[in-house]
A and B are shown apart, each in its own frame.
Chain A
Amino acid sequence: MISFGVLIAAAGVYFVDAKPESEILTLEEIHDFDMEMIESRSTIYGAVIPMYFQAGGNISQAPQAEKGFTVGELMRWAGIISITIAVIILLMIEFFYKKQISRLNYRTLMMVGMFALPVVVVLSTGSTVLETTKTVESCASCHVMDPFVNDLFNPESTTLAARHYKNRWISEYQCYTCHTTYGAHGTFEGKRDGFRHWLLYVTQTWEEPIAFAGSYPNQNCTACHGGTQKFMEVESHQALSQKMRADEVSCTSCHGPAHPTPGEREDVPDRELFRMAQTVTEISAEELTNLVERFYE
């Protein structure tokens, strides 16, 4: 058991050490464009290029602010190892060596397999669920969400969500940051709705077009924007401050729509179309230079 643990730890250390070196590309490795051009292009495309670099060439991946072995990942592995050990222990003592081992050893191992390790499994699974549901990928794993996730990656889109995503106003967990109800610190209703959505999805009983059933408090927006100089300078914000606080006026009334409307959803292009490779081949270096010059003019 100890050897197994050491082996896992050694593999983990190697994985953590090896991954960044192989996946992180320097600017020189990626292109022979100079920095000025890259910066200009980034501006033109609304930060799509840095996202491409960060995602290691895959534009459909959400940008990650942090790399490395996280506590969430550690908890996931703790669960995997605990389950493996518990199943081996229970299988051995209940089905193969029940008669051979002493009663004390049997009871001790049962305590480990039936109590101690399941507690680790519950904690591990709970934290993994709450951690992974925060990612954009988890929302994208249900096809019903495709129009909304595709819209995030659409450089042409002017929806609130797309602008927040492509300009990296939110660096990671873009869905979760605005829809804060389903995370570890979210409401019970958020979890209940998550289960309801899953049930509707697997039984294919949802109704099209899907609509946001809950209420969206303005506080989700003002948590970042409220109190900033730009926000305070807008006269209508001050005039409507009381109504906004009471959620009588929604931020999306003026700044929306947050996502594509039902009529627009079918026309949202697939996010795979926005792979950087396509964009790079479409524009030659000469055209790019002209574009940058025109941009500066």
Chain B
Amino acid sequence: MSNETTKPKEIDKLVRTSVIFTMAGMLLVLLFLLAGFQAWSVGLGVFLGMPVMLAGVGLYIFAVIRDLRFRKVLEDD
């Protein structure tokens, strides 16, 4: 519990940013899946939505690694 309270706010911010990115990306992809193959829907959904979603996932992985380092889980004994 003490780890939770002392966890830097930066990690929380990173997690929240990654969640926002992932949700935004997925909603853009949803546009494509609902609207079907159109020039605008492919642009928004596939060429913009997918990278944004993957960036969100990548950011979350980065946040988790930062958190694990902060908790010294990744360090050798």
What residues of chain A have their CB less than 8 Å away from a CB belonging to chain B? 76, 79-80, 83-84, 86-87, 90-91, 94, 103, 110, 113-115, 118, 121-122, 124-125, 128-129, 132-133, 135, 137-138, 141-142, 195, 198, 201-202
Q: Chain B residue with minimal CB distance to A84? A: B30
- Tell me whether B19 is interfacial, beta carbon within 8 Å: yes
If A125-B29, A195-B47 touch, whether A132 touches B18 (CB-CB below 8 Å) is no
Please tell me if the beta carbons of B29 and A79 are within 8 angstroms of each other in the complex: yes
Q: Can you name 29 A-B residue pairings with CB atoms under 8 Å?
A: A80-B30, A80-B34, A83-B27, A86-B22, A94-B15, A94-B19, A113-B22, A114-B18, A114-B19, A114-B57, A114-B60, A118-B22, A118-B53, A118-B54, A121-B29, A122-B50, A125-B29, A125-B32, A125-B46, A128-B32, A128-B33, A129-B37, A129-B42, A132-B37, A137-B37, A198-B43, A198-B47, A202-B40, A202-B43
Main secondary structure on chain B at its contact with chain A?
A: helix
Chain A residues near B66: list those with CB within 8 A.
none
Chain A residues near B53: list those with CB within 8 A.
118, 121-122
Please tell me if the beta carbons of A87 and B39 are within 8 angstroms of each other in the complex: no
Please tell me if the beta carbons of A83 and B60 are within 8 angstroms of each other in the complex: no
Q: Nearest Cβ in chain B — how far from A220, in angstroms?
A: 22
| Top-7 shortest CB links A-B | A132-B37, A138-B37, A83-B26, A94-B19, A83-B30, A114-B60, A79-B33
Within 8 A of A (CB), among B32-77: 32-34, 36-40, 42-43, 45-47, 50, 53-54, 56-57, 60
If A141-B38, A142-B39, A202-B39 touch, whether A125 touches B33 (CB-CB below 8 Å) is yes
- Tell me whether B23 is interfacial, beta carbon within 8 Å: yes
Q: Chain B residue with minimal CB distance to A77? A: B33
A141–B36 Cα distance when bound, in Å, is 10
Chain A residues near B30: list those with CB within 8 A.
79-80, 83-84
Q: Chain B residue with minimal CB distance to A122? A: B50
Tell me the number of A-to-B contacts counted with CB atoms below 8 Å: 79
Please tell me if the beta carbons of A118 and B23 are within 8 angstroms of each other in the complex: no
Please tell me if the beta carbons of A141 and B29 are within 8 angstroms of each other in the complex: no
Please tell me if the beta carbons of A87 and B23 are within 8 angstroms of each other in the complex: yes
A91–B16 Cα distance when bound, in Å, is 10
Q: Chain B residue with minimal CB distance to A91? A: B23
Chain A residues near B57: list those with CB within 8 A.
114-115, 118
Please tell me if the beta carbons of A86 and B26 are within 8 angstroms of each other in the complex: yes
Q: Nearest Cβ in chain A — how far from B41, in angstroms?
A: 9
A141–B35 Cα distance when bound, in Å, is 12
Q: Chain A residue with minimal CB distance to B22? A: A114
Chain A residues near B15: list those with CB within 8 A.
94
With a 10 A CB-CB cut-off, give which of B23, B43, B47, B60 has the most chain A CB atoms.
B23
Partner of B39, one of A90, A135, A137, A141: A141
A263–B29 Cα distance when bound, in Å, is 39
Chain A residues near B45: list those with CB within 8 A.
125
Chain B residues near A84: list those with CB within 8 A.
30
Chain A residues near B19: list those with CB within 8 A.
90, 94, 113-114
Please tell me if the beta carbons of B26 and A124 are within 8 angstroms of each other in the complex: no
Chain A residues near B23: list those with CB within 8 A.
86-87, 90-91
Partner of A198, one of B4, B32, B33, B42: B42
Q: Nearest Cβ in chain B — how far from A15, in angstroms?
A: 15
A114–B50 Cα distance when bound, in Å, is 13
